[in-house]
Amino acid sequence: MTKVELDKIRLHKKWPFRIWSFFERYFLVIFPLGISIVSFSMMKLGIINNDIQLIAIGSITFILSFLITILIFKTLYNNQFFKNYRIENLTIEKIETSLDKCSFENFHYYKLGYYEIITEVSWLSWGGLITIIPNGNELLINYKSQGLNGVNLPYVNLKDKKKLKKLILVLNSDVNF
């Protein structure tokens, strides 16, 4: 991440848009969208040939695949935004102590002024990338599940989500700081 990208994130509270990021983020939408197109063609062919079974199967498949397409698209779209948390007396030491308390093991602070945490691989997840950007008394947090070759997945690991909630609670409490 460059200084310009970091400033854009702090200003807009989302990842900056690039042409490649469209393919990177929305690659997974292609498969259910393709099924929607094929099932729509099945419905159309069923109407032309007056085949009730083809219309029924095409309709059910189209509705399900279209809903899955919308769900995946919405989730991947929301992954580009940072959640904003207001925390008083936010310091680098406070963040690092809280990360240790919440058992985030693989975190790294970059001199530009942000943290990256690589989460563990589990049975249900290939791991993820958490980006934490301190911005005065605000903390910007973004979580992206990663698949093979760094493809963003529309799945949020519940274990990581709980750890992030615990991190915010620890940061908001002034105990032991």
CB atoms inside a 10 Å sphere around CB 167: 23
Q: With 80 as the cut, is the pLDDT of residue 149 above it?
A: no
Q: With 80 as the cut, is the pLDDT of residue 121 above it?
A: no
Q: With 80 as the cut, is the pLDDT of residue 152 above it?
A: no
User: Between these two residues, 21 and 150, which has the higher pLDDT value?
Assistant: 21
First CA to last CA across the chain, in angstroms?
30
> What is the average per-residue pLDDT within 68-86?
86
| CA dist., res. 158 & res. 18, Å (int) | 29
What tens digit of pLDDT does each residue of 96-118 get?
889 888 888 888 999 999 999 88
Q: With 80 as the cut, is the pLDDT of residue 157 above it?
A: no
Centroid of chain to Cα 152: 7
User: In the prediction, which pLDDT does 84 show?
Assistant: 92
What tens digit of pLDDT does each residue of 81-92 get?
999 999 888 888
CB atoms inside a 10 Å sphere around CB 158: 11
> What is the average per-residue pLDDT within 135-139?
89
User: In the prediction, which pLDDT does 124 show?
Assistant: 63
Q: Tell me the pTM.
A: 0.76
